[in-house]
Amino acid sequence: MPPATEQVVSLRRLIEGRFPAAPARERRVVPTGVPGLDACLGGGLPAGALTELVADVPSAGCQSALGSLLHATRGARQRVALVDAAGCFDPNGLDDDTLAHLVWIRCGSLADTWRSADLVARDPNYAVVLIDVRGLSLRELQRTRDAVWVRLQRAAEQAGTACIIQSDALVVPNAACRVVFDQPLAADALTQPRAELLIALNPGLQRRRTAYPGRAACLEAAAS
Amino acid sequence: MFAVIHLPDFPLQALLRFQPALRHEPTAILSGEGRRAAVSHVGPMGSGDQPPGGAPGRCALPRDPDLCPPGRAGLSGPPGSEHQSPGVTPGMSAAQALAVCPALQLLAPSPDAEREADALLLTAARALSPTVEHTAPGCCTVDLTGTDDSRGAQFTSLRADLGACGLDARIGIGPTPFVARLAALQASPELQVTDTGEFLAPLPIGLLEPTPDEERLLGDLGLHTFGSLTALPRASLADRLGARGEELYARATGEHLRPLQPAPLPTRHLATRTFEDPVEVLEPLLFTLRRFCERLAAETGQLGGGTGRLALMLTLEDDSTHARDFDLPEPTADADRLFAVIETHLCSLHTESPVTGLTLEAFPARRLQLQEGLFDTGLCDAPLFFATLGRLAAVAGSGNVGTPRRADSHRPDAFVLDPPAAQVSILRPPASPAPHGPLLRRLRPPARATVELTDARPSYLASPVATGGITVLRRPFRSSGDWWSADAWTREEWDIRVGDGLYRLLHVPDGWFVEGTYD
């Protein structure tokens, strides 16, 4: 653990020990229905913040996790917008009824993707905004201006939207949480019930900003 | 009690409402044609810090329809309201006005703009009382009988509403329409007459609107103010001037009371404007539509429901038109929301030729009376939701935004996009067996691949997605359909593993493709 991080962790522990009754900053979360993902995010996707889901290998279960999120939000009576940069979403994999709350935006370019994401992130009707930039050129993604990310972050904060960016590599500099799906699915996953498959998913938390519950533990987890 | 709401320099105010850039310029209205054209209204002489009408060049009093004999122009206002500084004054020819003030912007009166401002004035006045008379252009009289006594806040609110729409109003309150009208002329910005005699006594006799002969006669008699007239015995005046003398006396004492002629409620909520020059850019259109939305929202809002549908028609220079109807998700009387709907549409619209005119009609609707389901998925801001959908359609294309649903076809990847619903019913328990396997991330279009076969089974894959030895996980799934039509299809799917990835390999008559990744 770097010395600076150690000092911050010890300082936070000291403050929490001195003032145990101090109100922690409460954050609304959106459960995904994937036990491993919810556990590492502290209950679910943080509302009003950016979360980056990185699919490190082609078949790590990231898309199935998003399918589970669609089902969970449908049950929780929330609206979801999916901004699909490459048009990779397959609605035939899910029931029509599960998708009744979804607004799918199929974009033709990265510029249209950011414009669409900016619009839906500002609309408080959506509890979750999924931005899928997988399949796009990494070079093109890395050329995205910082202002785009900051603007997206501000929009999500103001509307209280859980904003998720699904990517193939680390591209979001200001993500509040970053989760990496780096374990490939087993060969028998194709015949496995999806519920069991989701239980078996074990993504790794790479970053979680300390403004969320369990601050000291988060820092420790991130540092380790 | 009566209130008169007066818009000083009405033609100029109405015009500047649509041309705010001229508010800080010296402006004047040039009326008449040819050699008879003359300045009729003068705006602030470039002072820039006064609202339109705040420093009128010469206050033109709108004529009371049944008081003033026909064929006579409007009367001059009281001396205090006249433009004292040398400069452009009403009555000057265009050449004279430009000689005095070379920077003067001479504008032609706009009947469209005046009609809009009048409609807005009447709409605002109806917030005070249902009995509103359209007394003259830019002037209306309101019968306050039976209304709430706490009117001060209402008048302030009314002026603020009109001010937000670019109109500066003066309000006079008095026991009769005539006194209220005189008070409106003296108001800055509001004046309530409490002592009628004291208020009327110093006013010039010309404000009684006598005929020229009567005015000359009264002047010869040394009667120059209302007070000097009312000091005479009433019977003597009637003996000298007859019934007309009696009427002038009644006006001078503030006793003259006439019945109001209430303006009918509009049956259509329509706003129209024809541009002097064809418009090629969006901003002037949007500005005009913004003004239209303000008035139409106020009008339909007074009916209790708001606007449920908008109809926009653009007239183009090549004599063609562009028409579009907008069905709103729910009735609204919010001008911002009405404007947002039109703005979204116009931002993505390209016309073949410039716009020469536009018409916007609002259709009033009752507010929705519906009981939402306790467990339904609703919207916290329905207008914003549908406005966002409109903007998304403008960005991504209307065919690329919606709620996906499986199409009634066995063709793989067949789906339709439905317009998102305002209400989504509760999630039903799944009727089909529990799903198996991960979801597929489709490649649209599928990536062409080169496949090496061993014993009629794929053994090696070379594609932009993955390259390497193939482990076949599931036997091929063959399907075909639409064989009765020219759009027939047949395919063979293989679920394979290459490296760490699980893929769907597709074999069609055209060759091999990677259709997607199981993820």
> Which of A58, A105, A187 minimises the CB distance to B517?
A58
Calculate how close chain A gets to B41, using CA atoms only, in Å: 46
Q: Is the pTM of this model over 0.95?
A: no
Q: Is A158 on the interface with B (CB under 8 A)?
A: no
Calculate how close chain B gets to A21, using CA atoms only, in Å: 35
Closest-CA residue to A155 (of A53, A79, A49) = A49
Residue of B nearest to A107 (CA): B396
3 state DSSP class of A159: helix
pLDDT in tens, chain B (519 residues): 889 999 988 888 888 888 878 877 888 888 877 777 888 888 765 333 343 333 333 333 344 443 333 333 333 333 333 333 347 888 888 888 888 888 888 888 888 899 989 999 998 898 888 889 999 999 999 998 877 666 778 888 888 988 888 888 999 998 888 889 888 988 888 888 888 888 888 888 888 888 888 888 888 888 888 888 888 888 887 787 788 888 888 888 888 888 888 888 888 999 999 988 898 888 889 999 999 999 899 888 888 788 889 999 999 998 899 999 988 878 888 898 899 889 888 888 888 899 999 999 999 887 666 666 777 777 888 888 888 888 898 889 889 999 999 998 888 889 999 999 888 888 888 777 888 899 999 999 999 999 999 888 899 999 999 999 998 877 789 999 988 988 899 999 999 999 989 999 999 999 999 999 999
Q: How many helices (H) and strands (E) does chain A have?
A: 8, 9
Q: Which residues in chain B have their CB less than 8 angstroms from residue A123's CB?
A: 381, 384-385, 388
Which of the residue ranges A60-69, A192-201, B199-208, B461-470 would you say has the lowest mean pLDDT?
B199-208
pLDDT for position A63: 93
Q: How far is CA B255 from CA A33, B3, B152, B200, in A?
A: 80, 16, 24, 11
3 state DSSP class of B491: strand
Two tokens, residue B436:
């198996």
Residue of B nearest to A189 (CA): B437
Question: Mutate which of A56, A57, A63 to test chain B, going by most B C-beta atoms within 10 A?
Answer: A63
Distance between CA B167 and CA A28 in Å, rounded? 46
Distance between CA B60 and CA B57 in Å, rounded? 9
User: Which are the contacts of B501, defined by CB distance < 8 A and separation ≥ 6?
Assistant: A57, A58, A59, A184, B465, B466, B517
3 state DSSP class of B29: strand
SS3 track for B213-247: HHHHHHHHCCCCEHHHHHCCCHHHHHHHHCHHHHH
Residue of A nearest to B373 (CA): A77
Q: How far is CA B227 from CA B140, B177, B187, in A?
A: 27, 19, 20
Question: Tokens 């009314």 map to which residue?
Answer: B158
Distance between CA B331 and CA B329 in Å, rounded? 7
Q: Which residues in chain A have their CB less than 8 angstroms from residue B405's CB?
A: 91, 96, 99
DSSP for B403-468, written as a single string: EEEE-SS-STT-EEEEPPPS-BPPPPPP-SPPPBSPPEEEEEEEEEEEEEEETTEEEEEE-SS-EE
Calculate how close chain A gets to B475, using CA atoms only, in Å: 12
Buried residues in B18-43 as b, exposed as e (16+ CB within 10 A):
bbeebbebbbbbbeeeeeeebbbbbb
Two tokens, residue A197:
């498959």
Tell me the backbone φ, ψ of residue B151, rounded to 5 degrees: -95, -15
Do residues A27 and A46 lie in contact, with contact meaning Cβ atoms separated by under 8 Å? yes
Two tokens, residue A109:
């370019």
Q: Is A2 on the interface with B (CB under 8 A)?
A: no
- Cβ contact (<8 Å) for A190 and B502? yes
Distance between CA A78 and CA A33 in Å, rounded? 14
Q: What 8-state DSSP symbol labels residue B262?
A: B
- Which residues 13-42 of A are in CB contact (within 8 Å) with B? none
Q: How far is CA B513 from the centre of its chain?
A: 54
Helix axis angle, B243-253 to B234-241, nearest 10°: 140
> Which of B395, B406, B499 minimises the CB distance to A116?
B395
Q: Is A88 on the interface with B (CB under 8 A)?
A: yes
pLDDT for position B63: 40
Q: Is B440 on the interface with A (CB under 8 A)?
A: yes
Two tokens, residue A175:
């993500």
Do residues B218 and B210 lie in contact, with contact meaning Cβ atoms separated by under 8 Å? yes
Do residues B178 and B64 lie in contact, with contact meaning Cβ atoms separated by under 8 Å? yes
User: Which DSSP helix (H) or strand (E) runs through B329?
Assistant: strand B321-332
User: Which are the contacts of B94, defined by CB distance < 8 A and separation ≥ 6?
Assistant: B30, B37, B38, B39, B106
- Which residues 55-84 of A are in CB contact (within 8 Å) with B? 55, 57-64, 66-67, 74-75, 77-79
Closest-CA residue to B12 (of B37, B33, B50, B40) = B40
> Which of A66, A108, A191 minimises the CB distance to B436?
A191
Q: Is A115 on the interface with B (CB under 8 A)?
A: yes
What is the pLDDT averaged over residues A154-176? 92
Do residues B117 and B167 lie in contact, with contact meaning Cβ atoms separated by under 8 Å? yes
Do residues B356 and B309 lie in contact, with contact meaning Cβ atoms separated by under 8 Å? no
Q: Which residues in chain A have their CB less than 8 angstroms from residue B420's CB?
A: 103
DSSP for B35-68, written as a single string: GG-EEEEE---S-SSS-TTSS-SS-EEPPPTTTS
Sign of CA dihedral A54, A55, A61, A67: positive
Closest-CA residue to A102 (of A136, A67, A50) = A67
| Chain mean pLDDT for chain A | 87
User: Which DSSP helix (H) or strand (E) runs through B159?
Assistant: helix B152-164
- Cβ contact (<8 Å) for B471 and A98? no
- Which residues 344-403 of B are in CB contact (within 8 Å) with A? 375-377, 379-382, 384-385, 388-389, 391-392, 395-397, 400-403
Calculate how close chain A gets to B486, using CA atoms only, in Å: 24
Q: Is B405 on the interface with A (CB under 8 A)?
A: yes
3 state DSSP class of B100: helix
ipTM of the complex: 0.84
Q: A85, exposed or middle or buried, with CB in 10 Å at 0-12, 13-18, 19+?
A: buried
Do residues B261 and B140 lie in contact, with contact meaning Cβ atoms separated by under 8 Å? no
Q: Which residues in chain B have their CB less than 8 angstroms from residue A75's CB?
A: 427
3 state DSSP class of A165: strand
Sign of CA dihedral B109, B111, B114, B116: negative
